[in-house]
């Protein structure tokens, strides 16, 4: 029987497995619903898919890659990186592919996890499912009537030929910014339905010279210095995002200048210029997006969609536009991403129901009162708007491993965060978020839940999160089990 059950094989799940292996442990299993590893970077393969965090920060610090080919890695290279590490650490023998988790229940000091193929029991549960894995298809009136072809950007249909087609793209978020410039030369018409324009800053994605790659390989200190420079440059953005919006005016200036340089038409400029503070919604980067919108066969439509018909889309102004295909670039279910999982904790408490009724609450985004021995990697309020989430994942993995050691040292069978500790953390987080750009910037984003509460972003510097998760504070937890003894001041 495995001691640790890990759900998912993206950066979170694989990172946890690798660290267990590095400790000489093999008492774990990874449950993966698909037929290969990779999570987000397996599923998203749309044209132009790339990371918007610099390559050398979007990788494990304990497994650096010296030969990233571009400043911002493309999807195939990131996926290859994860596959290479899977082979290096012999993780495939621990992975159960094609086993979608259908339930998880705590009882008798163990987790019982049900999958589409069977059942697993273990002392600890690690949810590495992340938030960007359930595509959000908008419930547009008449959507079921459409007789053309349609798909979400996260489930890109590479078999469908876009050449000469009239294509509607719904949404102008991160994925649309990347794939629109890639397909604009193929389609005969492109109708881009925009609800809110994003801030798109200029960003090249040039190749990293082979000589530089060799230098990073031969002189690790140079690579580390470069990574540190990237980290602290990104970290500086947190100042503006967290209560000092005046600093963000500099970014807005460059964003507006970027629009002016690439778009001559004043009406199109007006459509794509945001009216909210930079950072309120996810900040994007591209040197090709605005230029793609200036093509004669591209129409940026800001009127809301009234209905979808068999072969067309009708907007609120009554205009009907015929299309052959609809591509939904509408992101993912984020704040409700755990709703589909049947997770029951102590006293049969259902996680999704509690979070829906009481609001999403955790301690440090990792542990939840009422759910002993469970860890949520990249959980609520640990997402970022300015730096690499891989940094956060590493901090959470270290914290989870330390919590497991705490249980063993105490000769206990389970640990559970105290309700007062969890409540205090959430009060602190929401107080800080209230003064951040996500709350004061004048926009509505996917960072917010249905009640307008930010359950996604970490309000502060990532180094602050690193300090708070460096080691477990034993006073934050109740230890249970027949052998449990009190720990005081044990590191």
Cα 368-374-377 angle, rounded to 5 deg: 85
CA distances from 40 to 30, 154, 257 (A): 16, 9, 33
Which of 296, 251, 270, 274 is CA-nearest to residue 198? Answer: 274
Residues 6+ away with beta carbon under 8 Å from 479: 406, 407, 410, 412, 414, 415, 485, 486, 487
Long-range pairs, 263-266, Cβ under 8 A, ≥24: 263/290, 263/293, 263/294, 264/294, 265/294
CB 398 within 8 A of CB 406: no
- DSSP string for 234-288: HHTHHHHHTT-GGGGHHHHHHHHHHHHHH---HHHHHHHS--S-TTSS--EE-SS
Contact 273, 304 (CB under 8 A): no
Q: Give Cα separations from 22 to 171, 405, 408 (angstroms).
A: 42, 15, 18
pLDDT for the residue numbered 98: 96
| Per-residue CA distances from 193 to 156, 301, 335, 430, 468 (Å) | 18, 5, 24, 33, 42
Largest CA distance in the chain: 73
Q: How far apart are CA 482 and CA 485, in angstroms?
A: 9
Structure tokens at 107: 């009882």
SS (H, E, C) 331-345: CECCCCCCCCCEEEC
* Helix count and strand count (H, E) for the chain: 15, 21
Looking at residue 458, its pLDDT comes to 95
The structural domains of the chain, ordered by start, are 4-37+91-134+333-480 (3.50.50.60), 143-205+228-328 (3.50.50.60)
3-class state of residue 314 by DSSP: strand
Sequential pLDDT tens for the chain (491 residues) = 789 999 999 999 999 999 999 999 999 999 999 999 999 999 999 999 999 999 999 999 999 999 999 999 999 999 999 999 999 999 999 999 999 999 999 999 999 999 989 999 999 999 998 766 678 899 999 999 999 999 999 999 999 999 999 999 999 999 999 999 999 999 999 999 999 999 999 987 789 999 999 999 999 999 999 999 999 999 998 898 988 888 999 999 999 999 999 999 999 999 999 999 999 999 999 999 999 999 999 999 999 999 999 999 999 999 999 999 999 999 877 655 566 678 999 999 999 999 988 889 999 999 999 999 999 999 999 999 899 999 999 999 999 999 999 999 999 999 999 999 999 999 999 999 998 999 889 988 878 887 888 989 999 999 999 999 999 999 999 999 855 555 544 33
C-alpha 17/C-alpha 2 separation (Å) is 12
**Cβ atoms of 136 and 332 closer than 8 Å:** yes
Contact 380, 354 (CB under 8 A): no
- Which residue, chain included where needed, has tokens 């492109």? 190
Q: Burial level of 210, CB count in 10 A (0-12/13-18/19+)? A: exposed
pTM confidence score? 0.94
State the pLDDT at residue 414: 96
Question: How many CB atoms sit inside 10 A of residue 218's CB?
Answer: 10
318: left (phi over 0), alpha (psi -120 to 50) or beta: left
d(CA 462, CA 460): 7
Which residues partner with 363 through β-bridges? 367
d(CA 23, CA 245): 44
- Alpha helices of 6-143 — where are they, by DSSP H? 11-22, 40-43, 75-88
Say if CB 355 and CB 451 are below 8 A apart: no
CA dihedral 315, 317, 322, 324 (to 10 degrees): -20
Strands of 99-173 (E only): list them. Answer: 101-107, 110-115, 119-122, 124-127, 149-152, 166-170
- What is the per-residue pLDDT for 335? 54
């Amino acid at each position: 029987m495995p001691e640790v059950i890990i759900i998912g094989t993206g950066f979170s799940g694989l990172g946890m497995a690798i660290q267990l292996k590095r400790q000489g442990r093999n008492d774990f299993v990874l449950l993966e619903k698909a037929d290969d590893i990779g999570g987000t970077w397996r599923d998203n393969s749309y044209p132009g898919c790339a990371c918007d965090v610099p390559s050398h920060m979007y990788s494990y610090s304990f497994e650096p890659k010296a030969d990233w080919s571009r400043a911002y890695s493309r999807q195939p290279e990131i996926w290859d990186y994860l596959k290479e590490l899977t082979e290096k650490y012999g993780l495939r023998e621990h992975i159960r592919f094609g086993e979608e988790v259908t339930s998880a229940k705590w009882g008798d000091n163990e987790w019982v996890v049900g999958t589409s193929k069977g059942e697993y029991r273990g002392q600890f549960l690690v949810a590495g499912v992340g938030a960007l894995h359930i595509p959000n298809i908008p419930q547009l009136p008449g959507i079921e009537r459409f007789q053309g072809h349609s798909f979400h950007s996260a489930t890109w249909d590479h078999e469908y030929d876009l050449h000469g087609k009239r294509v509607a793209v719904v949404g102008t978020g991160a994925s649309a910014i990347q794939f629109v410039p890639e397909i604009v030369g193929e389609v005969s018409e492109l109708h881009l339905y925009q609800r809110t324009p994003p801030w798109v800053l200029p960003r090249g994605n040039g190749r990293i010279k082979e000589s530089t790659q060799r230098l990073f390989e031969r002189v690790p200190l140079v690579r580390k210095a470069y990574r540190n420079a990237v980290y602290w440059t990104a970290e500086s953005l947190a100042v503006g995002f967290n209560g000092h919006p005046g600093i963000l005016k500099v970014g807005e200036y460059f964003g507006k200048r970027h629009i002016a340089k690439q778009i001559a038409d004043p009406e199109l400029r007006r459509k794509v210029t945001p009216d909210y503070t930079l950072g309120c919604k996810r900040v994007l980067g591209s040197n090709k997006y605005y230029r793609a919108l200036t093509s004669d066969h591209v129409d940026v439509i800001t009127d809301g969609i009234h209905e979808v018909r068999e072969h067309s889309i009708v907007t609120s102004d009554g205009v009907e536009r015929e299309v052959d295909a609809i591509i939904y670039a509408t992101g993912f279910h984020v704040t409700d991403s755990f709703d589909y999982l049947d997770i029951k904790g102590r006293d049969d408490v259902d996680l999704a129901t509690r979070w829906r009724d009481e609001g999403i609450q955790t301690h440090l985004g990792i542990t939840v009162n009422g759910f002993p021995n469970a860890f949520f990697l990249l959980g609520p309020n640990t997402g970022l708007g300015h730096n690499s989430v891989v940094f956060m994942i590493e901090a959470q993995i270290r914290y989870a491993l330390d919590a497991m050691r705490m249980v063993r040292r105490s000769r206990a069978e389970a640990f559970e965060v105290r309700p007062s500790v969890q409540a205090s953390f959430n009060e602190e987080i929401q107080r800080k978020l209230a003064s951040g750009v996500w709350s004061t910037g004048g926009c509505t984003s996917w960072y917010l839940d249905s009640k307008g509460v930010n359950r996604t972003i970490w309000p502060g510097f990532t180094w602050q999160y690193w300090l708070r998760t460096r080691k477990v504070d034993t006073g934050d937890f109740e230890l249970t089990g027949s052998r449990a003894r009190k720990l005081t001041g044990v590191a």
